[in-house]
């Protein structure tokens, strides 16, 4: 996994700036308002990608939540696929419809908003690790306990607590962001059923995508 840049260009004015948030795209509120004014009245270039990703996410999470009697490789595969599509939809909404995404978060009470933000941060941590530096078995426990038989429903499988990652290859800001993802994973995903994670994430993204749809 490559390091993150400390400097990026504002998508509105092109000015280089140091982001204070992981997904920041604008150097100032004024540039964010100007970009939204120019783009919100016409179809976004991300609308097609969003529709496609939403359909794939809905199909994958539905299969995961309904799956039973699957062998570990099949279960791990559908969980990994769900991680990819959920984080893809999340990133697409943040990129092309940041105001709608922000409104969906603002409509939640503070405690629920914290849960939502930590859930997505934790899923980003999994996405960044699985397939590059980790195997799905390092993150997923498919047994109700270490001494019992595998859980029948994939949705009942649980996220495992994991050790702190080696972030020495990242910039200082990149290390800070990845550690925040790790902390969110440990707090919100570890020891919880994967089905609960994906049901909550998909429900939020569905509501945010409805708010993002042009009238």
The answer to whether the pTM exceeds 0.85 is no
- Give the tens place of pLDDT for each residue, 160-176: 999 999 888 888 888 99
Does residue 147 fall inside a structural domain? yes
Does residue 9 fall inside a structural domain? no
Q: Tell me the mean pLDDT in the region 41-53.
A: 65
Does residue 130 fall inside a structural domain? yes
Does residue 73 fall inside a structural domain? yes
Does residue 39 fall inside a structural domain? no
Does residue 131 fall inside a structural domain? yes
Q: Tell me the mean pLDDT in the region 46-57.
A: 81
**pLDDT at residue 12, as a whole number:** 74
Q: Tell me the mean pLDDT in the region 50-68.
A: 92
Does residue 150 fall inside a structural domain? yes
Does residue 29 fall inside a structural domain? no
> How far is C-alpha 99 from the chain's CA centre?
17
- Ranked by mean pLDDT, which of 34-38, 50-54, 82-86 comes out on top? 82-86
Q: Which domain holds residue 113?
A: 45-212
Helix (H, G, I), strand (E, B) or coil at 175: helix
Separation between Cα atoms, residue 147 and residue 23, nearest integer Å: 42
Separation between Cα atoms, residue 184 and residue 210, nearest integer Å: 26
Do the Cβ atoms of 57 and 89 come closer than 8 Å?
A: yes
pLDDT higher than threshold 80 for residue 25: no
* Total tally of structural domains belonging to the chain: 1
**pLDDT at residue 2, as a whole number:** 42
**pLDDT at residue 5, as a whole number:** 47
35 falls in which pLDDT band (50, 70, 90)?
low
Partner residues linked to 17 by β-bridges: 8
11 vs 201, more confident: 201
């Amino acid at each position: 996994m490559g390091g993150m840049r400390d400097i990026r260009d504002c998508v509105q004015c092109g000015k280089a700036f140091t982001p204070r948030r992981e997904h920041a795209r604008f150097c100032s509120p004024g540039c964010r308002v100007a970009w939204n004014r120019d783009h919100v009245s016409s179809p976004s270039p991300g609308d097609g990608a969003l529709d496609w990703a939403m359909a794939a996410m809905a199909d994958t999470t539905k299969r995961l939540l309904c799956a039973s009697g699957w062998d570990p490789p099949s279960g791990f595969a559908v969980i990994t696929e769900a991680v990819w599509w959920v984080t893809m939809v999340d990133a697409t909404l943040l990129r092309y419809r940041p105001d709608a995404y922000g409104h969906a978060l603002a409509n939640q009470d503070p405690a629920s908003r914290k849960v939502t933000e930590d859930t997505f941060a934790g899923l980003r941590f999994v996405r960044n690790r699985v397939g590059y530096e980790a195997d799905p078995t390092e993150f997923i426990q498919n047994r109700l306990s270490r001494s019992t038989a595998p859980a029948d429903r994939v949705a009942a499988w649980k996220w495992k607590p994991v050790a702190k990652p080696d972030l020495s290859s990242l910039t200082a800001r990149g290390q800070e962001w990845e550690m925040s993802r790790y902390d969110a994973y440990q707090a919100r995903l570890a020891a919880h059923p994967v089905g609960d994670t994906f049901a909550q994430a998909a429900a939020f993204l569905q509501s945010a995508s409805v708010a993002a749809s042009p009238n």
